[in-house]
């Protein structure tokens, strides 16, 4: 087949290569990254990730990724490693399904964290509460979660009974890209299978049957759904880092942001200053201590990452000038002048 005509979608990204889905709907094909694929990282050029649209060149017989097209949205996590780089989890996503189980009890702090990640991506978040069949009153539990998910649809579903899946099916419009994020065991792959109408992903249940490793979903993977939408399944990511973004935080915590705007001092730290609207709301119970703590925690992380990004930027700038200076000095010696 030929890749001449237009972009193809990355179905799965591996080290040094990607699987792409050709338009003809045939089996995905492997394309290697350019030989300078790793150098591209330092260059700030995009390394292809699942959901990316890429141009592939197979003129020399071996398909390789020539270019990653600009992204309409990117789900970015802080990869907190020594390299302190951001990791793009998925690209060109329209809807982020924040998946959380109802049993055991939902972790609201985790939902808030993933909502912040979703808002920052540019995609629209929707909360999906799984395992509704295991609790007596899923509707009221969904309402509680809804209080922590301002301006976001919250749906309680059961993949076991099929209850509550209809509103999610409504999101699967032709051409739409959705991604599921959430802890391991929340039922993400089970949900993907339920929406796909067939077992495309292996789930926790199967793992017990065929006795394979502990985590069944090991790769982020793009699954085509009937009707023309695609869904990206992800493994549960422990301690997912939110990448600094004041706007995303202010959207997730719109209620807190509203209070902050009412504090008497513009630079209020909400630590006992007079006229602090946040403290007042805590005192009356209008703002819960839990939500306040969750907001403070994410805000601190965001501030830390912003500082780290700044120093990273400064280091890059220093390197850039060093290079320019070196090139300039080489230039002074004269280009192409015979040596000695
Ligand atoms: N009762 C019940 N169990 C579910 C539901 N969804 C998922 N599970 C179970 O939860 C476990 C983890 O599911 P899995 O999809 O692998 O979770 P993932 O790690 O988020 O992909 C499996 O044993 C599923 O059968 C549900 O709606 N109801
Ligand atoms: Mg899974
Ligand atoms: Zn205040």
- Tens digits of pLDDT across the chain (340 residues): 445 567 999 999 998 899 998 766 678 899 998 765 544 544 556 789 999 999 998 888 888 898 899 999 999 987 755 455 678 999 999 999 999 999 999 999 999 999 999 999 999 999 999 999 999 999 999 999 999 999 999 999 999 999 999 999 999 999 999 999 999 999 999 999 999 998 888 887 544 444 443 345 678 999 999 889 999 999 887 666 777 688 999 999 999 999 999 999 999 999 999 999 999 999 999 999 999 999 999 999 888 888 877 787 788 878 888 887 887 787 776 555 554 4
β partners of residue 57: 64
Helix (H, G, I), strand (E, B) or coil at 124: strand
How many Å lie between the centroid of ligand 3 and the Cα of residue 278?
Answer: 5
| Cβ(313) – ligand 1 distance below 6 Å | no
Distance of CA 238 to the CA centre of its chain: 13
* Domain over 8-70 is classified CATH 2.40.50.140: yes
Amino acid 213: pLDDT: 38
User: Domain ranges in the chain?
Assistant: 8-70, 87-233, 241-303
| Cβ(131) – ligand 1 distance below 6 Å | yes
Q: Of the candidates 260, 240, 242, 247, which has an alpha carbon nearest to the alpha carbon of residue 302?
A: 242
Amino acid 85: pLDDT: 67
| Residue 281 to residue 292: CA distance in whole angstroms | 10
| Residue 158 to residue 179: CA distance in whole angstroms | 18
Q: Where are the beta strands (DSSP E) in 24-176?
A: 29-33, 53-57, 64-68, 74-78, 86-91, 95-101, 124-130, 154-156
Amino acid 267: pLDDT: 95
Alpha helices in 129-261 (DSSP H): 138-147, 166-169, 188-196, 204-210, 246-252, 254-260
β partners of residue 56: 65
Give the ligand 1 atom nearest the CA of 190: 15
First vs last Cα of the chain: how many Å apart?
54
| Cβ(216) – ligand 1 distance below 6 Å | yes
Amino acid 214: pLDDT: 38
CA distances (Å), 44 to each of 39, 52, 114, 290, 313, in order? 9, 16, 25, 38, 11
How many Å lie between the centroid of ligand 1 and the Cα of residue 209?
Answer: 14
| Residue 173 to residue 228: CA distance in whole angstroms | 7
Helix (H, G, I), strand (E, B) or coil at 112: helix
**Known binding positions:** 130-133, 182-190, 263, 268, 270, 276
Structure tokens at 236: 């549960």
Helix (H, G, I), strand (E, B) or coil at 26: coil
Angle of helix 289-332 relative to helix 108-121, nearest 10 degrees? 40
Amino acid 302: pLDDT: 86
- Please, are residues 229 and 178 in contact by the beta-carbon 8 Å criterion? yes
| Cβ(204) – ligand 1 distance below 6 Å | yes
State the DSSP H helix or E strand holding residue 17, giving kind and residue range, or none if neither. strand 17-21
Amino acid 215: pLDDT: 41
Q: Which CATH class is domain 87-233?
A: alpha beta
Report the DSSP pairing between strands 124-130 and 221-224. Answer: unpaired
Classify domain 241-303 by CATH number: 1.10.40.50
Structure tokens at 101: 């189980």
Report the DSSP pairing between strands 29-33 and 74-78. Answer: unpaired
**Phi and psi torsions of 104, nearest 5°:** -60, 170
Amino acid 209: pLDDT: 42
| Cβ(67) – ligand 1 distance below 6 Å | no
């Amino acid at each position: 087949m030929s890749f001449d005509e237009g972009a193809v979608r990355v179905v799965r990204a591996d080290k040094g290569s990607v699987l792409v889905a050709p338009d003809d709907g045939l089996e995905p094909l492997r394309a290697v990254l350019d030989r300078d694929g790793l150098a591209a990282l330092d260059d700030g050029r995009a390394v292809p990730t699942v959901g990316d649209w890429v141009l592939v060149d197979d003129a020399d017989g071996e398909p390789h990724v020539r270019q990653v097209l600009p992204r309409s949205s990117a789900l970015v996590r802080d990869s907190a490693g020594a390299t302190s780089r951001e990791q793009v989890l998925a690209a060109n996503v329209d809807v982020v399904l924040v998946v959380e189980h109802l049993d055991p009890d939902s972790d609201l702090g985790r939902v808030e964290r993933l909502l912040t990640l979703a808002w920052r991506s540019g995609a629209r978040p929707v909360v999906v509460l799984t395992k509704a069949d295991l609790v007596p009153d899923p509707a009221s539990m969904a309402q509680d979660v809804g209080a922590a998910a301002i301006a976001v649809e919250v749906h309680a579903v059961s993949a076991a009974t099929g209850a509550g899946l209809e509103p999610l099916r409504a999101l699967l419009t032709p051409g739409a890209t959705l991604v599921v994020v959430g802890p391991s065991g929340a039922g993400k792959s089970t949900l993907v299978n339920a929406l796909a109408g067939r077992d495309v992903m292996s789930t926790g249940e199967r793992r017990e049957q065929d006795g394979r490793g502990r985590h069944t979903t090991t790769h982020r993977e793009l699954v085509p759904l009937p009707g023309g939408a695609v869904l990206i399944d992800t493994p549960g990511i422990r301690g997912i880092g939110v990448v600094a973004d004041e706007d995303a935080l202010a959207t997730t915590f719109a209620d807190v942001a509203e209070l902050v705007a009412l504090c008497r001092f513009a630079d209020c730290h909400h630590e006992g200053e007079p006229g602090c609207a946040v403290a007042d709301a805590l005192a009356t119970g209008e703002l819960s201590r839990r939500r306040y703590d969750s907001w403070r925690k994410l805000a601190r992380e965001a501030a830390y990452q912003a500082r780290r990004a700044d120093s990273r930027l400064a280091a890059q700038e220093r390197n850039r000038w060093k290079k320019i200076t070196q090139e300039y000095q080489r230039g002074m010696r004269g280009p192409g002048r015979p040596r000695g």
